[in-house]
């Protein structure tokens, strides 16, 4: 089965570059943007050999997993462009719900626990299923080439990760990377339209919070050399994580690694 765009993605004007194998779909998308490509365009493979995640961590997609990057060229400030990560999480969660419908039915309507983890992960049953990486470069006056890389564990999940990982097949959801990508490309076209150059982030934020992992519970955020402990209160209008500390402060966090804690470990928080 070949990688193909869904019908709504095609109707929205997206194009596709599919690869049998490639080092990094994000790197390819950025290279094409530097060469003059202005999108919107997907760069997709089922075998990625030199991918990367946040903080330059490796993200390798063995044959059968999905590595997909969408290139959008936008006339928005970098801070607004960064909120596309939340749209990407929503789009993927929508696609996962769609492709897992039959598996849920076979399991008597089971909930596979798809949740969105700040800032850019999708979890399944508390384990990392997908990583999302945004990168951007200026390609002219007031224009950014933004690439949104989405790597999903379809057939296999890595063992040596700082956060436990899961795969769709390991969950009993026996779909292909090709089926997932078609659903994802359609869901992205719809979610991207809601986002609307950042003007619709309020609605994206509302939907994201409805699917957020750990909302209202104890959390620990490592940001550089600083650790912030408290309650995951919300995300604000810019996408920052708001942590409510034990002394009542509401601390905004723009970047960091999030770890959920049990109530027993939360102490006075």
* Three-state DSSP class for residue 177: helix
- Count of domains observed in the chain: 2
Q: Nearest to residue 183, comparing CAs of 116, 103, 120, 94?
A: 94
Rounded CA gap, 69 and 27, in Å?
A: 9
Shared domain for 253 and 139, answered yes or no, is no
Q: Which domain holds residue 222?
A: 218-265
Shared domain for 71 and 179, answered yes or no, is yes
Residue 59, domain member (yes or no): yes
Shared domain for 105 and 236, answered yes or no, is no
Shared domain for 203 and 78, answered yes or no, is yes
Residues of the chain with pLDDT under 50: 54-56, 263-269
Name the H helices within 100-200: 101-106, 177-195
- The pLDDT assigned to 102 comes to 79
CA distances in angstroms from 2 to 45, 177, 206, listed in the order given: 10, 10, 35
- The pLDDT assigned to 196 comes to 98
Task: Enter the tokens of residue 86.
Answer: 């939340």
pTM (2 decimals)? 0.91
What CATH number does residue 154 fall under?
3.30.930.10
Residue 14, domain member (yes or no): yes
Shared domain for 232 and 201, answered yes or no, is no
Shared domain for 85 and 196, answered yes or no, is yes
Question: Length of the chain in residues, anyone?
Answer: 269
Residue 2, domain member (yes or no): no
- The pLDDT assigned to 106 comes to 73
Shared domain for 128 and 255, answered yes or no, is no
Shared domain for 121 and 154, answered yes or no, is yes
């Amino acid at each position: 089965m070949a990688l193909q765009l869904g019908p709504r993605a095609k109707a929205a004007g997206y194009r596709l570059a599919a690869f049998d194998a490639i080092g990094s779909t994000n790197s390819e998308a950025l290279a094409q943007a530097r060469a003059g490509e202005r999108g919107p365009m997907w760069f997709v493979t089922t075998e990625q050999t030199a991918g990367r995640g946040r903080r330059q961590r490796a993200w390798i997609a063995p044959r059968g997993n999905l590595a997909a990057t969408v290139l959008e060229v936008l006339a928005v400030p970098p801070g607004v462009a960064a909120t596309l990560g939340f749209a990407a999480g929503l789009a993927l969660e929508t696609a996962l719900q769609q492709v897992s419908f039959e598996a849920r039915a076979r399991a008597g309507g089971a909930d596979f626990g798809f949740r969105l983890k700040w800032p850019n992960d999708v979890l399944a049953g508390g384990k990392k299923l997908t990583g999302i990486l945004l990168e951007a470069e200026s390609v002219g006056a007031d224009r950014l080439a933004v690439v949104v890389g989405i790597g999903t564990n379809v057939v296999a999940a890595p063992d040596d990760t700082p956060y436990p990982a899961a795969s769709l097949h390991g969950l009993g959801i026996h779909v292909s990377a090709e089926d997932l990508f078609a659903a994802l490309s359609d869901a992205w076209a719809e979610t991207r339209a809601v986002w609307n150059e950042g003007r619709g982030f309020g609605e994206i934020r509302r939907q994201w919070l409805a699917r957020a992992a750990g909302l209202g519970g104890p959390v620990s955020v490592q940001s550089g050399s600083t650790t912030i402990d408290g309650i995951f209160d919300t995300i604000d209008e810019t996408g920052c994580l708001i942590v409510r500390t034990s002394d009542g402060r509401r601390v905004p966090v723009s970047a960091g690694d999030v770890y959920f804690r049990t109530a027993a470990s939360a102490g006075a928080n």
